[in-house]
Amino acid sequence: MTTNQKAYLSLTLGALGISLAPIFVRLSELAPSATAFYRVILCVPVLFIWIAVTDRTSPLSLRIKFNKRDVLFLSLPGIFFAGDLGFWHWSIIYTTVANATLFANFAPIFVTLAAFFLFHERFSRLFILSLIISTVGMIILMGTSAGAGGNYLLGDALGVMAAVFYAAYLSSVGKLRGTHGTILIMFWSSLSAALILLPVSLLSGDVLIPQTSTGWIILFALAWISHIGGQGLIAYALAHLSTAYSSVSLLVQPVAAAGMAWILFSEVLTELQIAGGVVVLFGIYLARRAST
């Protein structure tokens, strides 16, 4: 298997891993902000041990001087990720899992705009076409959200805000992966996100301790499967694939999340929404063709 093939496989598995996140959030016993805090803080000890055992050249190593500038840049994705998690987890409460995940995955639009205006990247006509098709599919999936009431509209708006922050997260990780390892980025971004989300949860008056063992299992699954597994695989893929292409490919996430919500929460998809999912997948296929 070539490096690119491994990257494509990692990206797909990562997308499936994070597609489980809204399911875990919906099942969590805690409020969205508190759930988001546990999602990242439960990863920190695992990532710390991982780095201590495998990486002797990182800022965590006692063998070299602690570099504050490196830590600052490595923590930047966590600031964006905290915004993404905060808005997205509340979105999942106010609207359907499918819609929350759908709007959060409008990130490709913002990633492409940032790449064009900030980094002067250029894209082929086929890639632009794939982005348009994927976006149309997302709009189709939205279905009748506009007429479903104020809570649904609020949830959708929070999902769009999450997309802005997730686009910034993807872009910053994509730049850092050129000089830093995946696990190192994951550690510092998780730690910095936790330091932001904890005071937010405390100020919101959230309960911070799950009442049952099932509640803890859900939090650990969210942290280790969706965050370490899903985001870690995505961060690895970003070292070998373009950020814009990767963000489009991640549109498989709302399709998978919608399917699981259909099974677990009886959030029935209409024929029109299913057609939208097919259109999204076709857009992903074109993006794959455009990148080769």
- Domain extent at residue 15: 3-122+149-241
230 lies in some domain: yes
How high is the pLDDT of residue 218? 96
141 lies in some domain: no
DSSP states along 210-267 = -SSHHHHHHHHHIIIIIIIIIIHHHHHHHTTS-HHHHHHHTTHHHHHHHHHHHHHH--
How high is the pLDDT of residue 65? 44
Let me know: does 84 contact 166? Beta carbons within 8 Å. Answer: yes
The terminus-to-terminus CA distance of the chain in angstroms comes to 16
127 lies in some domain: no
262 lies in some domain: no
Let me know: does 72 contact 127? Beta carbons within 8 Å. Answer: no
Question: CA 60, CA 45: separation in Å to the nearest integer?
Answer: 13
How high is the pLDDT of residue 215? 95
Walk along the chain (292 residues) and give the pLDDT tens digit of each residue: 777 778 888 888 888 888 899 999 999 999 999 999 999 999 999 988 888 777 655 555 444 444 677 777 778 888 998 999 999 999 988 888 877 887 777 776 777 767 777 767 777 787 788 778 878 877 776 665 555 556 777 887 888 899 889 888 878 887 776 777 777 788 888 899 999 999 999 988 888 999 999 999 999 999 999 888 887 787 778 777 776 667 666 667 777 888 888 888 888 777 777 787 788 778 777 776 665 5
Residue type, 142: M
291 lies in some domain: no
- Going by C-alpha positions, the residue among 110, 103, 105 that lies closest to residue 156 is 103
Q: Give the side-chain half-sphere CA count within 13 A for 278.
A: 7
How high is the pLDDT of residue 67? 64
Q: Give the side-chain half-sphere CA count within 13 A for 289.
A: 12
**Cβ-based burial of 195 (10 A; exposed 0-12, middle 13-18, buried ≥19):** middle
Measured N-to-C along each axis, helices 97-104 and 68-94 cross at an angle, to the nearest 10 degrees, of: 140
Predicted model pTM: 0.77
23 lies in some domain: yes
How high is the pLDDT of residue 243? 65
Let me know: does 147 contact 276? Beta carbons within 8 Å. Answer: no
How high is the pLDDT of residue 24? 94
Overall domain count for the chain: 1
271 lies in some domain: no
Let me know: does 246 contact 115? Beta carbons within 8 Å. Answer: no
280 lies in some domain: no
